[in-house]
A and B are shown apart, each in its own frame.
Chain A
Amino acid sequence: MHHFTPWRALGGGVLLGVAASLLWLSTGRAAGVSGILAGLFAPRSDERRWRALFLAGLVAGGLVLRMMLAPSAFAAAERGLPLVVTAGLLVGFGARLGGGCTSGHGICGLGRLSLRSLIAVGVFMASGFLTVALVGGSR
């Protein structure tokens, strides 16, 4: 059972917006995490550096969170490893096929009022709701 935490959620969201704007200012790119991760393996080496730095920043931020908020900031769901593997495959493949994930479509795409992103967000939220309704919540 989880509690409604509106202020932390809103504050975290504002930070995400600031971070996405900082990335846009410094690189001219959208902060879509799945695309940035995939681009790390792309042939154009001049595009790899900022991507690697952004991803390194994500992990460094994780370490800071561990020191500041741990262990309350992190928790994995009570799911078996076969389910976790299936989930990872679907998230990786689906985000590439759909052209973005929660950050690329959800923050950057909706931030610039893209119809494509609005539809993508609607679809992945609906399929997420349906999945949890079928598989069950994590309490």
Chain B
Amino acid sequence: MTRRDVGPFMAGLLFALGLGLSGMTDARKVIGFLDLTGAWDASLALVMLGAIAVHGAFLRLANRHPLAAGEDGRAAPGGPPVDAALLAGAALFGVGWGLAGYCPGPAIVSLATGSVRVIVFVLAMLAGQAAFAFRRVVTR
């Protein structure tokens, strides 16, 4: 590992600790958060609040810095418009999230447990991504 490799690795490590501490790697707690009509557990709304507050403040400061313009399209303001793909994709994602209680980050972190359910989920998630890539090649 070179010095440049430390940043992304440490970012991943801290991200995993944040997910674990907040309760996002407990799929039952995630489903409890989505169980609005049942025994709703609002904790996870605070995860987003904390993350957005810190990262939002950081981005405001960073974007003021002349050297720190985002090289990535996603870091630039504006971006692609709201379209049917965004709505349909988010809707499908929400169904999967509610079914298993995992979104991509916590699922990958939970691979560390070696649980069969988690491994099956991550493999299916990769298959879903591959299906999207294939669809894009076919329809192009």
Contact = CB atoms under 8 A, between A and B. Distances in A.
Interface in B78-97: 79-82, 85-97
B133 A41 contact: yes
Interface residues on A, range: 35 or more
Nearest to B92: A94
Contact of A138 (B9, B24, B28, B91): B28
Given A83-B99, A83-B100, A97 B11 contact: no
Given A65-B112, A90-B93, A28 B21 contact: no
A88 B124 contact: yes
Interface string A11-40: 111111111111111111111111101100
Nearest to A92: B128
Judged by DSSP, the binding face of A is: helix
A76 B129 CA distance: 22
A16 B93 CA distance: 21
A17 B51 contact: yes
B11 A20 contact: yes
Contacts of A41: 129-130, 133
Contacts of B51: 13-14, 16-17, 20, 106-107, 111
Contacts of A77: 27-28, 30-31, 100-101
A75 B110 CA distance: 9
A59 B111 contact: yes
Contact of A111 (B34, B56, B90): B56
B129 A92 contact: yes
Interface of A: 1-6, 8-35, 37-38, 41, 49-51, 53-66, 69-70, 72-79, 81, 83-99, 101-108, 110-116, 119-121, 123-133, 135-139
16 contacts: A16-B47, A17-B52, A26-B4, A29-B74, A34-B104, A38-B132, A41-B130, A54-B9, A58-B15, A62-B16, A83-B100, A84-B99, A88-B127, A91-B128, A136-B38, A138-B101
